[in-house]
Amino acid sequence: GQQVMQIPQYQHVQEGEDFTTYCNSSTTLSNIQWYKQRPGGHPVFLIQLVKSGEVKKQKRLTFQFGEAKKNSSLHITATQTTDVGTYFCAGERGSTLGRLYFGRGTQLTVWP
Amino acid sequence: DTGVSQDPRHKITKRGQNVTFRCDPISEHNRLYWYRQTLGQGPEFLTYFQNEAQLEKSRLLSDRFSAERPKGSFSTLEIQRTEQGDSAMYLCASSSLNRGDYEQYFGPGTRLTVT
């Protein structure tokens, strides 16, 4: 089963609106990674967060890692149609380094 | 193309048959991972290798599944006596620890359909 929970499962927004997806783990993570998968494609790495409370930005995307290293979020400001896809968080635990536990993903649809 | 490649891209087989998939990672990557993904789900870890050593195998992986990476380069994933529940996309990914880079680079996947 899923070790990492991710919500919402689906999000439909109008172009220009903001979007946020949340990720939660029952256990402390050593790091968390975010991936994007376009329809019909394969997951593509976006970013990795390692430090407690870390915040990273990539243009319109803002990634946060919680203080307890159990939760994370991805926020997209002013969505564009090119943002369409499924966003996955994937956590790595200290006891099983190398193994990623993926969330179920949030499927983002953006209409013009 | 220097990305991760997988072969075949699609496989249709009858229940009970054996299938084998191949993954060629990015050449300098020492880690190789296998995942399974079904519709509406995230990739589910199956196993991973560091060079030729298989370091971890998911408990979800039954004895019908086996993976090898004999020379620390390409890898094969074999499924014996396939079942309809094995129908999924099988993804391979690779990464390099040498640079302290944990990013996993995914291949296009092999879509398996068991009839």
Q: How far is CA A29 from CA A47, A66, B32, B44, B79, in A?
A: 15, 10, 21, 17, 31
Mutate one of B6, B45, B51 to test the A interface: name it (highest A CB count within 10 A): B45
Residue contact B42–A2, C-beta within 8 A: yes
Q: Which pLDDT does position B59 carry in this prediction?
A: 83
Cross-chain CB nearest to B42 (options A88, A96, A99): A88
Q: Which pLDDT does position B99 carry in this prediction?
A: 61
SS (H, E, C) B20-64: EEEEECCCCCCEEEEEEECCCCCCEEEEEEECCEEEEECCCCCCC
Q: pLDDT digit string (tens) for A39-79?
A: 999 999 999 999 999 999 999 999 999 999 999 999 999 99
Beta strands at B10-13 and B110-114: parallel, antiparallel or unpaired: parallel
Distance (Å, whole) CA A51 – CA A79: 27
Q: How many CB atoms lie within 10 A of CB A78?
A: 11
Q: pLDDT digit string (tens) for B28-83?
A: 899 999 999 999 999 999 999 999 999 988 887 778 999 999 988 999 999 999 99
Contacts of A100 in chain B (CB under 8 A): 33, 43, 45, 104
Residue contact B31–A101, C-beta within 8 A: no
